[in-house]
Structures are given as structure tokens and as C-alpha cells.
């Protein structure tokens, strides 16, 4: 429909295409009589091509869900996919989801009196924290002490999961005991701007992944003296703030154990719910000065302009029918999300687009036997939908039911940066750890062969129980999969340069080849072979998510 609600010719064509896709999937592809051309083969992208596309993405700015930049980036992908229709690619109706978009505009902290008076640099705000408006909130600046640190064993992934699950209760117990804190001496925090040490990020090391390792060739592990440091602002933990509101706190200032450069613009917790109290984050050096300023409990002012606006976002789906009439009813799903902060979050859709373009331009006899589905779901950075591929699968039950295998691609080309009080925030000169979770059995063997061929630095094949990849959304549906992800220090950082100085396009181009070989391996295997050897497939119930189909036109 157009903006007036009228059915346009484009809408009718899309509905016809959607109907044709359903027929193709149900009965197999007997011919390609729908008019696809035979173009020159477009190879997988060079590092220069990948860099050009990532730069184009970053020019839109942070693609936070529901923002104008997010909508423009989604439309860029739609236009690229629509351009492939002449090769037989079928652009489907978009999936429309309502959500609330948190749009932080500004944040400030000012001490209005005393020897520590003046403005203090604020690194970031807790995502979906209650805004103050431009007037801000005013109250005595009070130091409340140090939040409890979750009890973890760095090399035990289950202990980390359990500790993070317990953390909200531990924070609440700590807040309930605040008046008796030695820093407060029984004083109330009602009406205050409360400064606390957040004890974040967790002091993790890369040893957390050891218990999850399925395969890694020794020659692929290339480390520096600091590589094992896995303190990451995006992991947190970041406290939920409703207990502070119950104590009458007007605003919370969290001191992170990070340099300003490492925590500035950090968008955490990216799937956290709306917060009850304005919550700002400062770096370790600023925190030290604030603790001194708190000695006289001076009057301070905190502002956070960050409206939470109702909006809608679009998910995008494209289909390339399979070349084998007997197998084209089955699907191979390549997925990623469309929202993100910088070059890393999220460049997986760029990889998916290049893979689709390559397969669409191959000669008929060289194309995938099964139908290739590109799924770009819109809202990873939101509390209103499950994180992962779940919402897309629920909106496309026919494609999900026919899936032979799935793939989730995230965070390509990430280099390793660490932050310490001694050396500051700096590059280590090696690749960031990249984890590829796989279904056990044949999918693991297929991924292993691809990894041996491309020899990707610091890349591991992993298994549960702890999984960071959004690919685990395939598991409840019983779909074998691989899901790859890196978790660099800057992962969720909103940065003026989109952290492009940390992007390795040569690595990213090689990772796209790695994923392409896995996809080809999936296509060669039988439906039954791909499902052998992993009893965890299909053991959970997928969540019900409602999506509304809308026109997904090129502009």
C-alpha cells in the first residue's frame, strides 16, 4: 500500500511473488521459467568491497532500533535485495513489529558547590533509564559504597550464568541494607544523587570458553600478552534500578572499572527493560574525583534527555529458489539482525547479502540445491522481543518447518582491544576471539573442515550449555545450525567513527568465505544426516511473537 492505504501495483506484484514462493517451496522447482537472467558470476566480496559496504552502513549512524538511521539502513538492504530480483531472488513482504525506541540525546552531571564543584564527564547512560528532561534533577551528591560483585569462577560458564541470574536479588539486598553501610553511617539516601562503584565489568578471562570448546587448531590461536583479558563493558553486570527508586534516590551515578575511552557510548544492557531511575555511567578516573566530591555531600544536578518513543521496525526476508526440483522445498536460512551501534553491531547482514548475490549469479547447475532464505530481523537491541532468530521463525512457520539447516552471522572483522588501569585502552595486535557455536554431529564436522581451510585466527568451534550466538534461536525449532559471534570490548559502543579503526576487512572477507563453505556443506548433506548426534535440538518451546506483514518496496 502507499501512504494513503491504497493497494499499489508494487504491492500486488509482491503478493504474487509471495504466492509463487509458497508454491515453489511446496512442490519443488521444476523450471526457472519465471525469467531469471544468466549474468556473469559475482564472486564473494574482496576486502575492499566489504569495507565499502561497512562504511556505507556506518554513514547512517548508530542503527538503534526504531531510529531514523535504523529505518534508512533497513531500506538500504531492501533496495539491494530488490536489485537481485532480475536474477530470481524473491523479496518477501516485510515483518512489522511495534516497539518503544529509547533515544538518548544528552546527559550531564554537575556539582553545584564545594571544592569539587564543576562539570564531570559522563561516559554513557544505562539503556532505557528514566529521563529527567532538560531541567534535570537536583539533590545532595552521596557516595553509597560498592555494589556486590557476582560470585563467579572465570573458567566455569555455568557459574557465570548462575551468578548473573542471582545478581538482581543480591543488588536488592545490598540496597535494602544501604543505611547501615559504613559509607553512610545510617544516613538516608532519600532525595539524593547516589554515587556507587558498580563492580563492572566482570573480571573474566578467555578461559570461560575452554569448557565449551569443540575444536580449535593450535596454529589458529595467536595471542598477545594481554589477550586473555575478557573484561567487557557489554557483559556488565549493570544493576536494575527500581530498588533505588523505592529508597527515594533521584538519580544513580555508576562508576565503571574502565577508562573513559572503553566505556564511552556503551549501550548496556541492550535488552534491559525500562529503568525507574535516571542512571548515568562514569569512568574510573572520574569516579575517583566524584568520591572525593561526595565528602561534603554537595548539591549536584544530573540530566538525561532520553525519550522512549513508540514506533515500528521492519524485518526483511528474501528467497532464492533451489536448483534441484526434489530438494527446493527445503530451506537453508542465513540470518542476522539489522540494528546495531557501530561497524561490528551489525555487519552480518552484509555477509548474508553478498552470499545471496553470489549464489544468485551462479550458473543453474552450480547453485544451491535447496532454497536459500535470507532473514534479516530488526530488533536485537530491545527488551520487547526475544533476542535471536526466534521472532523471525515464528513469523515464517512454513520456511521454518522446511528448514534443513540455519546460520546466524554476527560481528565480522573484529580486532582485539583491552583496557587496564596501567596501560589504558589499546589494541593488542591480534584478532578478537570469535566463537562459532554448532550443532553436534555433521554440522560440527562441516564447520571444522571450513575452519581448517581458511585458518581463521583465534576462532573456536563451541557447544553449550552457555551460548552467546543468536543462532541458538534455531534450537527450539529443531533446526541444525552454526552461529558465530565475537564479543570485543567495543561491541555495543556508540562511537562517532563507528569504531572503524578497529575493523579488519581482510578478516571479514575471509569469514564470509568460511560461512559460504559451511552453507555449501549443509546443502550437500541430507536432512536426516544434519540432525544426527545432537539430542538438544528441539527441546524447548519457541516463544509466540506476532508480526504484521507489510509492503517491503524499493525506494
d(CA 100, CA 98): 7
Residue 72 CB coordination number (10 Å) = 14
pLDDT at 2: 32
Mean pLDDT of all residues belonging to the chain: 89
Band of the pLDDT at 508, cuts 50, 70, 90?
very high
Give the phi and the psi of residue 356 in degrees, each rounded to 5. Answer: -65, -45
Q: Would you list the DSSP string of 106-174? A: EEEEEE-SSTT-EEE---EE-TTPPP-EEEEEEEEEEEEEEPPPP---TT-HHHHHHHHHHHHHHHHHH
CB 21 within 8 A of CB 88: no
pLDDT at 13: 31
**Would the pLDDT of 543 be above 70?**
no
CB 434 within 8 A of CB 400: no
Q: Can you give the residue ranges of every domain in the chain?
A: 40-100+312-550, 104-201+236-306
d(CA 553, CA 17): 12
Strands 213-215 and 424-431: unpaired
d(CA 288, CA 111): 14
Residue 194, classed as helix, strand or coil, is: strand
d(CA 499, CA 555): 29
Strands 371-377 and 331-337: parallel
pLDDT at 68: 95
pLDDT at 265: 97
Percentage of the residues of the chain whose pLDDT score is greater than 90: 71
CATH of 104-201+236-306 given 1.10.10.410, 3.30.70.20, 1.10.275.10, 3.50.30.30: 3.50.30.30
pLDDT at 178: 85
Rounded to 5 degrees, what angle do the CA atoms 227, 352, 452 make? 50
pLDDT (tens digit per residue) in 117-159? 999 999 999 999 999 999 999 999 999 999 988 877 666 777 7
pTM for the structure as a whole: 0.90
**Would the pLDDT of 408 be above 80?**
yes
Residue 159 CB coordination number (10 Å) = 16
Q: Is the dihedral of CA 59, 61, 65, 70 positive or negative?
A: negative
pLDDT (tens digit per residue) in 72-121? 999 999 999 999 999 999 999 999 999 999 999 999 999 999 999 999 99
Q: Between residues 54 and 538, which one has the greater pLDDT?
A: 54
**Would the pLDDT of 22 be above 70?**
no
**Would the pLDDT of 304 be above 50?**
yes
CB 483 within 8 A of CB 471: yes
Band of the pLDDT at 38, cuts 50, 70, 90?
low
Q: Between residues 181 and 190, which one has the greater pLDDT?
A: 190
Residue 11 CB coordination number (10 Å) = 17
Band of the pLDDT at 64, cuts 50, 70, 90?
very high
pLDDT at 489: 97
pLDDT at 159: 76
Q: What is the mean pLDDT of residues 179-184?
A: 78
The CATH class of 40-100+312-550 is alpha beta
**Would the pLDDT of 303 be above 60?**
yes
Percentage of the residues of the chain whose pLDDT score is greater than 70: 90
Amino acid at each position: 500500500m502507499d501512504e494513503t492505504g491504497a493497494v499499489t501495483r508494487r504491492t500486488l506484484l509482491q503478493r504474487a511473488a509471495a504466492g509463487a514462493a509458497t508454491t515453489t517451496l511446496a512442490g519443488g522447482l521444476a523450471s526457472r521459467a519465471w525469467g531469471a537472467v544468466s549474468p556473469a558470476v559475482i564472486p564473494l566480496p574482496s576486502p575492499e568491497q566489504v569495507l565499502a559496504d561497512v562504511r556505507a552502513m556506518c554513514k547512517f549512524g548508530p542503527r538503534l532500533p526504531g531510529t531514523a538511521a535504523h529505518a534508512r539502513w533497513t531500506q538500504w538492504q531492501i533496495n539491494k535485495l530488490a536489485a537481485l530480483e532480475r536474477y530470481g531472488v524473491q523479496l518477501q513482504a516485510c515483518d512489522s513489529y511495534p516497539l518503544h525506541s529509547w533515544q538518548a540525546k544528552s546527559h550531564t552531571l554537575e556539582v553545584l558547590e564545594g571544592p569539587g564543584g564543576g562539570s564531570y564527564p559522563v561516559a554513557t547512560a544505562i539503556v532505557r533509564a528514566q529521563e529527567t528532561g532538560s531541567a534535570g534533577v537536583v539533590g545532595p551528591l552521596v557516595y553509597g559504597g560498592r555494589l556486590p560483585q557476582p560470585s563467579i569462577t572465570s573458567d566455569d560458564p555455568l557459574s557465570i550464568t548462575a551468578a548473573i541470574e542471582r545478581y538482581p536479588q543480591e543488588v536488592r539486598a545490598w540496597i535494602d541494607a544501604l543505611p547501615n553501610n559504613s559509607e553512610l553511617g545510617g544516613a538516608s539516601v532519600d532525595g539524593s544523587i547516589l554515587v556507587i562503584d558498580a563492580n563492572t565489568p566482570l573480571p573474566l578471562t578467555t578461559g570461560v570458553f575452554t569448557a565449551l570448546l569443540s575444536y580449535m587448531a593450535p596454529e589458529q590461536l595467536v595471542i598477545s600478552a594481554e589477550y586473555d583479558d575478557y573484561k567487557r563493558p557489554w557483559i556488565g553486570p549493570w544493576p536494575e534500578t527500581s530498588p533505588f527508586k523505592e529508597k527515594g534516590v533521584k538519580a544513580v551515578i555508576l562508576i565503571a572499572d574502565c577508562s573513559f575511552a572503553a566505556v564511552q557510548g556503551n549501550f548496556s544492557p541492550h535488552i534491559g527493560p525500562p529503568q525507574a531511575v535516571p542512571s548515568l555511567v562514569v569512568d574510573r578516573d572520574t569516579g575517583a574525583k566524584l568520591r572525593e566530591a561526595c565528602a561534603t555531600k554537595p548539591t549536584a544536578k544530573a540530566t538525561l534527555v532520553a525519550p522512549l518513543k513508540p514506533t515500528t521496525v521492519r524485518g526483511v526476508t528474501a528467497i532464492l529458489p533451489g536448483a534441484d526440483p526434489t530438494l527446493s522445498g527445503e530451506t537453508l536460512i542465513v540470518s542476522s539482525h539489522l540494528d546495531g551501534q557501530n561497524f561490528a553491531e551489525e555487519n552480518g547482514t552484509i555477509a548474508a547479502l553478498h552470499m545471496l548475490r553470489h549464489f544468485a549469479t551462479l550458473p543453474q547447475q552450480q547453485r544451491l540445491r535447496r532454497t536459500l532464505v535470507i532473514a534479516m530481523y530488526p530488533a536485537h537491541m530491545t527488551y520487547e522481543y526475544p533476542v535471536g532468530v526466534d521472532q523471525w521463525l515464528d513469523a515464517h512457520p512454513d520456511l521454518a518447518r522446511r528448514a534443513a539447516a540455519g546460520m546466524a552471522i554476527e560481528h565480522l572483522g573484529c580486532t582485539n582491544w583491552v583496557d587496564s588501569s596501567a596501560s589504558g585502552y589499546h589494541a593488542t595486535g591480534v584478532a578478537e576471539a570469535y566463537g562459532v557455536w554448532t550443532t553436534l554431529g555433521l554440522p560440527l564436522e562441516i564447520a571444522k573442515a571450513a575452519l581448517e581451510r581458511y585458518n581463521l585466527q583465534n576462532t573456536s568451534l563451541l557447544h553449550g550449555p552457555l551460548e552467546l550466538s543468536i543462532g541458538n534461536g534455531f534450537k527450539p525449532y529443531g533446526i541444525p545450525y552454526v552461529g558465530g559471534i565475537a564479543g570485543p570490548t567495543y561491541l555495543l559502543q556508540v562511537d562517532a567513527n563507528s569504531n572503524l579503526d578497529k575493523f579488519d576487512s581482510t578478516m571479514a572477507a575471509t569469514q564470509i568465505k568460511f560461512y559460504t563453505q559451511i552453507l555449501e556443506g549443509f546443502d550437500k548433506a541430507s536432512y536426516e544426516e544434519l540432525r544426527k548426534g545432537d539430542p538438544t535440538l528441539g527441546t524447548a518451546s519457541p516463544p509466540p511473537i506476532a508480526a504484521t506483514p507489510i509492503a517491503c518496496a524499493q525506494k
